[in-house]
Structure 1
């Protein structure tokens, strides 16, 4: 028996547009497809249907993915904020496509790459400068700085879409590659494996790329490559940590061998403990963490600063998790928060923020503490090093 002729119709949408919801419903009614393909992965599909996957916050802290998850939740919050302003839930057009397909007993195909792989590739490929720019842009969106009126329905127009994508490429080439180009190829590849009359509901920003790959399947990259989380490059944070560690050890050796009095050494140690502890604990306070978490950050920061393999924020975050005991309900609430204050009150977001800000405070404390210790002891590091090099070499 011959296979039915395959026809793929792409419906480009804006993810927070009422017009897009109507267009999706109209396309399914008129085209009567055999398959409705949606730009979702299993995890996003479950979230859209109100089913939340269990997440171990302790495992997140231990894995070192705190900043990635924070960024993901902040980006999702900004999208919800835009949707609220327009009176449309983010992803409403995808939900409309799913509901329409289920009502008509039409097969549903989830054709997007797993969100976890996308976010890990996105975070891993971005340069530090790009991450900072994106973080500041998200914060500006949350607090409403520099907001411009956007005609959201015009976002599905080809010229506008091209302008927005080019702007993203200028802003962050790495983000554009992972969020646009790789997913264009992935979605096109998934569509090519479907048969029958297919309506594919995708973001307008993916239309041109998907069409290009459908016309020329040989242009699609190896799926093995874009479905894999890349091995971590040299971790700048770890490299910086080892550099600070080496500098501190050298400073300690110089202090011990330079004849500094025990009184000055103890004074320097006191400054080191207090400066590291206070700044790390301040990060917890800014995050509105529990006093026990702040006390933990204060207690461990001075020693974690000497070891690049551990971080004060990990300990503070784990204590915060123990105190808050987050539940699946908290995760559901985090997905639906509507205001910055609700975001900050959510136990899961608070734990992540405590971890991140305690770490940042500890890094600042390490740099400031090293500077003050050198000044307190009155040691001329350059002179001592020159003297040591002369004697040893």
Structure 2
């Protein structure tokens, strides 16, 4: 079993970079394990990151992509205040390992799996609360030193905001990284482990009690499809709307059915187009949002924002540089002017408009049947 030295760092503090250098120079390990997966390692070493906007829109992962961008932006802004680039302590660890001839071990879980598990596990309200707290942090006045020097408090606050997010982003990765450290310890005598300070306590606990590490296949599992309250509500609402139109057509006649359809079409179309307009979408994207919203609102498998966002992608044609700049934006103005960010924003705001239009449109159409919605909702 190897001697293991764990260095807990604050990802954007200069002191962390200095501590990494000091420990590696003193210990002279034959391996340095870093909190990186191959994707993040390549992005950090080559100073590039990429997002396939087509894949994001086709997969309906718009909110997830925006979350990643906002998190990256938040960490980068803190780094600017402290004079340290995010990931600099990892780059330093890699550089020092190569200087002394030590192997570099990538022990973290694939970032794509982590974010997919995060999105699947969080409830709708957790996502809202999590996003709100990130945005509040971006515009809040809390001192960087105070936040980064109270890691335990920060982790606990994070768990309060979203227990599921804390489980996926912290606990699961603690277990996964410890598993890889234990495996590596069979082949090395001394290992220096460089991880975020929020992971240090969890990794130390798992090293003392390795039997508590969950099966590794469970930590890598990404469910292809699963039941969710939001999906169930979507299908129920779709069935309700279709059933209402069928009732109007058979009981109240085709003229009333046409009138109900026009209300449905205009309400959904106007609010979806309004969302796209607020994102300063291309005129064709706004038109498409208006025209397709009535149909996407009764089909939970596709969103109006995915369609308008795809049109925006074709009209704006973001370049590779736009995508790189998106992930390296240093101000909100930079984000706002970025073509790639605009595509995601158009998709997100169109979807929000469509959601509001669906709820209000359903209310209006149901009222046309003579049914008092208030009596149904309030017994």
What's 1:101 paired with? 97
Q: How does 1:150-165 map to 2 (within 5 A)?
A: 150-151=144-145, 155=149, 160-165=150-155
Partner of 2:143: 149
The match for 1:380 among 362, 370, 378 is 370
CA contact (8 A) 2:9 2:16 kept: yes
> How much is the aligned-residue C-alpha RMSD, in angstroms?
2.2
Of the three residues 188, 193, 197, the one matched with 2:190 is: 197
Describe the SS at the equivalent of 1:310.
coil
Counterpart position of 2:61: 65
Q: What is the aligned counterpart of 1:170 among 141, 160, 167?
A: 160
Contact 1:14/1:204 (CA < 8 Å) preserved in 2? yes
1:113 aligns with 2:104: no
Gaps of 5+ in 1: 387-393
Relative distance call for 1:220 and 1:261 in structure 2 (3 A) is: closer
330 and 196 in structure 1: CA distance in 2 versus 1, 3 angstrom threshold: farther
Mapped partners of 2:144, 2:302: distance in 1: 44
Q: For this pair of structures, how many residues does the alignment match?
A: 372
Is the 2:171–2:202 contact (alpha carbons within 8 Å) kept by the matching residues of 1?
Answer: yes
**How far 1:169 sits from its partner (Å)?**
2.0
Tell me: CA distance 1:341–1:154, structure 2 relative to 1, closer, same or farther (3 Å).
Answer: closer
Equivalent of residue 214 in structure 1, options 189, 207, 213: 207
Which residue number corresponds to residue 26 of structure 2?
A: 30
- CA drift of 1:103 comes to 3.0
Cα distance in 2 for partners of 1:54, 1:130 equals: 27
In the superposition, the TM-score normalised over structure 2's length comes to 0.92
Cα–Cα, structure 1 residues 153 and 26, in superposed 2: closer, same or farther, change >3 Å?
farther
Residue 62 of structure 1 deviates from its aligned partner by 1.2
The answer (yes or no) to whether the contact 2:235–2:300 under 8 Å persists in 1 is yes
What is the CA–CA distance in structure 2 between the aligned matches of 1:328 and 1:105, rounded to whole Å?
35
Equivalent in the alignment of 1:283: 275
2:294 paired with 1:294: no
Q: Counterpart of 2:333? A: 341
More displaced 10-residue stretch of structure 1: 235-244 or 125-134? 235-244
Aligned-partner SS, 2:221: coil
1:236-385 equivalences in 2 (<5 Å) = 236-260=229-253, 262=255, 264-375=256-367, 377=368, 379-381=369-371
Listed as ranges, the gaps of 5+ residues in structure 2 are none
1:49 alignment partner, SS class: helix
Whether contact under 8 Å (2:20, 2:92) holds in the other structure is: yes
Cα deviation for residue 54 of structure 1 reads 4.9
Contact 1:19/1:153 (8 A) holds in 2: no
Distance 1:130 1:261 in 2: 44
Q: Normalising by the residue count of structure 1, what TM-score does the alignment of the two structures yield?
A: 0.89
The DSSP-based 3-state class of the residue aligned with 2:95 is: helix
Distance 1:153 1:134 in 2: 17
SS of match in other structure, 1:151 = helix
Of 360-369 and 223-232, deviating more is 223-232
Match of 2:5 in 1: 9
Greater shift in the superposed pair: 91-100 or 53-62: 53-62
Give the match for residue 124 of structure 2.
128
Does the residue aligned with 1:193 lie in a helix, a strand or coil? helix
Partner of 1:225: 218
